[in-house]
Amino acid sequence: MASRTNQWALVGCALLCVAALPWVDSARLSAAEGQPQPSVAVANFPVASAARLAGDANQTRFILDLDRTVTFRAVTLADPYRVVIDVPQVNFQLPAGTGSGRGLVKAFRYGLVMPGGSRIVFDLTGPAKIANSYVLEAANGQPARLVLELEEIDRAAFLQALAPENRPELRPAIADAPPATIPVAPVAAPSKPAVPADGRPVVVIDPGHGGIDNGTQSSGESEKNLVLAFGLALRDRLEKTGKYRVVMTRDDDTFIPLNDRVKVARNLKAALFVSIHADALPRAEGDAQGATIYTLSDKASDAEAERLADAENRADAIAGFNLAEEPTDVADILIDLTQRETRTFSNRFARLLMGEMKSTVRMHKHPLKSAGFRVLKAPDVPSVLVEIGYVSNKGDLEHLVSEGWRSRAVGSMAQGIDAFLAKQMATAGPAN
């Protein structure tokens, strides 16, 4: 399947990101994208070959088998209760289905959170402490192992353990990560970073999820891969026109926090921000199909929109971020006026986009909705979030993995973007 081949290419891309400076420019990776990478590149990372849980609801032990020892850092997070283990980039070759829970662990997941850094996130059944954590060297025929031992505690003790004096800095690995402000690398852009290199409007394409956050999943397909493939195809289509500078919030399998996605658009003074997702309906809630275009609103347009925004806004928690520490840089009363105008533009774009998309894409029965998506909160950049279909629906999923469908859908979206920006530019005059 196309997405599987892609995954390997993407691991290779991630390596390039470590070697070169990440976030320099989306164009940098375009040559690597889609081409198979030499398998030697993948072999350079430590390989995790098995993971298991043992124990009960009082004490639970996690063991990860590795082909060599790694450095790591383990921390607990509250609300929801989680344990996060950060390691250097690891090539996870765990059997399919790895990640179900036992004892104090409800479930766990693993993957890249940034180039050079992998993470394992455990959802806990309740408050627990890290009683012990260590790495064992290979010995007596056993591989190197990373071991985490959890013990049940009460909430008061859990919160006490979270107090700043009781834990080292929460996320140095993340803090060390290059900021997601695309052009700051001095090598690539010695001039003013926030201004686009040319006068063309900047379109930011934001494939949802990535890395440790798979998004919705069905029949072996992950939302993160489907929307990345779609986003890259849309980028290529828009770039071909030569009219826009197109920037991706991610062009590989890396996790990007929601705020950073918004920052990319704001720092580049983007003319448009388009977030790409694929929805899923839990089996118990029946079936739904078709694409939906979402804009920002304080109050969700219906219950389904609210459920979806809640789910999409959970991305940072899924990736093991401490939401309490996320800076809220979009918190100024002065923003309000701009925001009102921006919302008008966002709604206009959503309508134009629907008009174009409905000719090639099966749309949801209520295709225009709104809710409080965090990723749409740039006060000065017209933003929409497109759920391109339901991975939980058989027909939609067939479309989502089809290159022919993707090409037609991307063509319609590009036309919608064209129609919107042509009007914007006509209104704004040549200065923009």
Task: Kindly list the residues in this chain that would bind Zn ion in the complex (CB under 5 A).
Answer: 208, 215, 277, 312
Q: Which is nearer to Zn ion, 60 or 225 (CB)?
A: 225
Residue where the block lists tokens 């290419």? 9
Residue 431 CB-density burial (10 A; 0-12 exposed, 13-18 middle, 19+ buried): exposed
Q: Are 295 and 376 in contact (CB under 8 A)?
A: yes
CB of 150 to Zn ion, least distance (A): 29
**Closest residue by Cα to residue 321 from 213, 178, 164:** 213
Pull the structure tokens for residue 142. 């056993």
Q: Which is nearer to Zn ion, 294 or 345 (CB)?
A: 294
Q: Which is nearer to Zn ion, 276 or 410 (CB)?
A: 276
CB of 209 to Zn ion, least distance (A): 6
Give the span between the Cα atoms of 3 and 12, in whole angstroms.
Answer: 14
| Cβ atoms within 10 Å, residue 282 | 9
Q: Which is nearer to Zn ion, 314 or 408 (CB)?
A: 314
CB of 290 to Zn ion, least distance (A): 16
Q: Which is nearer to Zn ion, 382 or 389 (CB)?
A: 389
Please give the residue whose beta carbon sits closest to Zn ion in the complex. Answer: 277
CB of 223 to Zn ion, least distance (A): 5
CB of 260 to Zn ion, least distance (A): 16
Q: Which is nearer to Zn ion, 15 or 293 (CB)?
A: 293
| Cβ atoms within 10 Å, residue 429 | 7
CB of 315 to Zn ion, least distance (A): 7
CB of 124 to Zn ion, least distance (A): 24
Give the span between the Cα atoms of 412 and 234, in whole angstroms.
Answer: 10
Q: Are 212 and 48 in contact (CB under 8 A)?
A: no
Q: Which is nearer to Zn ion, 170 or 227 (CB)?
A: 227
Give the span between the Cα atoms of 295 and 349, in whole angstroms.
Answer: 9
Regarding beta strands 128-136 and 117-124, do their DSSP bridges make them parallel or antiparallel, or are they unpaired? unpaired
Q: Which is nearer to Zn ion, 128 or 291 (CB)?
A: 291
CB of 375 to Zn ion, least distance (A): 9
CB of 48 to Zn ion, least distance (A): 26
